[in-house]
């Protein structure tokens, strides 16, 4: 367990220091998040107008700190790199690059939507399927549908269907994390729970190869998850409400992709719905809002505003109350997922 703890500790320290440095750097250069004026027709929440001038792209510190923490942990003897985890890193960095470009365009044009946003969905979808194809072609990743291990439920998807399934998971989770990033600390805090859960799941896989023989180099996966947990925790020092810096798309797309890839690599595809339960609720609220709005001929809405965290803000909840209550929802959802995983693990261990 030393390497995951080392990765988390290094990432935590670097994230705190790096985010603080980025906050000062971005502020001094005017690299701040565009917020439309109160009288703008498409301002999300008028109460957020005061956030104009807050530095953004802090997700660079999360990804950078996690990467360094991951690499430093491998100086320990016996901690080896796996092809699968290195491919996961390439996928995370590719998604982060898309977010970085979009954030840069927002800053340059002084608009809260970059020019790239119209095409970002297609670009992230292509990257998602590219990652899925690469994992299938270069690793021994299991292609069965899984809840807590490939044998449950154990349906063989086949190469083509698995690529469609895995690509959809990566695309959906990365964009769900992006949608969740609308309040100070909400995305980073909920992701922290998820990465901590995957650290535990991967470490159990490492210690119990007889139960999880299909998990590829689970120790390296535990290090990967722990490094992101440390990166998110350090970022929260500066991103907690009221935020000194925002994550930006560079961070939300990266952490969403990392969570999705951990779900695929640890054979917990369906459990990911609970581990990322808050993200599912958030992006689900957007989908429901759009469905009701279009079905009613653009006359009715299910929520005051979507994503659903804005619905509660417009209902009178202070931002901090929404954040803390949503963190609790995320924590309970992750705890339920871990309970399901550990219950199955205990049952399998008792049979041996």
DSSP per-residue letters across 78-110 = T----HHHHHHHHHHHHHHHHHHHHHHHHHHHT
Tell me what pLDDT residue 42 has: 42
Q: Which of 265, 262, 269 is nearest to 136 (CA)?
A: 265
Distance CA 68, CA 85 (A): 14
Tokens of 325: 């209550």
Q: What's the pTM?
A: 0.94
Q: What is the pLDDT along the chain (352 residues), one digit of tens a residue?
A: 899 999 999 999 999 999 999 999 888 877 676 665 444 434 456 566 666 678 889 999 999 999 999 999 999 888 899 999 999 999 999 999 999 998 888 887 766 555 455 678 899 999 999 999 999 999 999 999 999 999 999 999 999 999 999 999 999 999 999 999 989 999 999 999 999 999 999 999 999 999 999 999 999 999 999 999 999 999 999 999 899 999 999 999 999 999 999 999 999 999 999 999 999 999 999 999 999 989 888 888 998 888 999 899 889 899 999 999 999 999 999 999 999 999 999 999 998 7
Report the distance separating Cα 167 and Cα 328, nearest Å.
Answer: 29
Residue 29: its H or E element: none
The one-character DSSP state at 243 is P
> Could you give the 3-state DSSP secondary structure of residue 149?
strand
Place of tokens 């980073």: 188
Residues 195, 254: Cα–Cα separation, whole Å: 13
Residue 198 contacts residue 300 (beta carbons within 8 Å):
no
Could you tell me the residue ranges of all domains in the chain? 2-269
* Of 145, 95, 101, the residue nearest 264 (C-alpha): 145
Structure-token pair, residue 243 = 């935020």
Q: How far is CA 146 from CA 203, 225, 239, 269, in A?
A: 18, 19, 35, 5
Tokens for 3, please give them: 């390497």
Asked whether 145 and 179 are in contact (CB, 8 A), the reply is no
* Cα–Cα distance list, 286 to 17, 37, 272, 281, 338 (Å): 35, 23, 19, 9, 27
Cα gap 220→226, rounded to integer Å: 10
**CA pair distance 78, 314, nearest whole angstrom:** 53
- Nearest alpha carbon to residue 183 among 295, 344, 75, 322: 322
In degrees and rounded to multiples of 5, residue 5 shows phi and psi of: -65, -40
């Amino acid at each position: 367990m030393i390497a995951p703890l080392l990765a988390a500790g290094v990432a935590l320290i670097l994230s705190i220091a790096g985010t603080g440095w980025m906050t000062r750097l971005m502020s001094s250069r005017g690299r701040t998040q565009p917020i439309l004026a109160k009288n703008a027709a498409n301002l999300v929440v008028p109460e957020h107008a005061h956030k104009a001038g807050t530095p953004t792209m802090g997700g660079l510190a999360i990804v950078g700190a996690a990467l360094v923490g991951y690499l430093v942990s491998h100086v320990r003897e016996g901690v080896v790199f796996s092809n699968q985890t290195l491919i996961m890193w390439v996928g995370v960095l590719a998604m982060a690059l898309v977010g970085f470009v979009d954030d840069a365009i927002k800053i340059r044009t002084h608009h809260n939507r970059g020019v790239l946003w119209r095409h970002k969905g297609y670009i992230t979808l292509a990257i998602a399927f590219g990652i899925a194809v690469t994992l299938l072609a270069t690793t021994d990743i299991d292609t069965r549908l899984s809840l807590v291990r490939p044998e449950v439920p154990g349906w063989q998807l086949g190469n083509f269907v698995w690529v469609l399934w895995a690509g959809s998971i990566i695309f959906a989770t990365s964009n769900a994390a992006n949608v969740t990033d609308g309040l100070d600390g909400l995305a980073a805090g909920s992701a922290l729970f998820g990465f901590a859960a995957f650290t535990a799941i991967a470490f159990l896989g490492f210690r119990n190869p007889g139960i999880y023989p299909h998990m590829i180099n689970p120790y390296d996966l535990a290090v990967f998850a722990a490094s992101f947990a440390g990166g998110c925790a350090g970022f929260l020092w500066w991103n907690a409400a009221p935020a000194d810096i925002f994550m930006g798309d560079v961070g939300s797309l990266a952490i969403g992709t990392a969570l999705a890839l951990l779900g695929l690599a640890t054979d917990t595809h369906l459990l990911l719905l609970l581990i990322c339960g808050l993200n599912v609720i958030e992006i689900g609220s957007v989908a429901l809002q759009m469905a009701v709005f279009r079905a009613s001929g653009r006359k009715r809405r299910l929520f005051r505003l979507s994503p659903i965290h804005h619905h509660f803000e417009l209902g009178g909840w202070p931002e901090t109350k929404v954040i803390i209550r949503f963190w609790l929802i995320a924590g309970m959802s992750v705890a339920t997922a871990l309970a399901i995983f550990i219950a199955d693990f205990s049952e399998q261990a008792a049979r041996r």
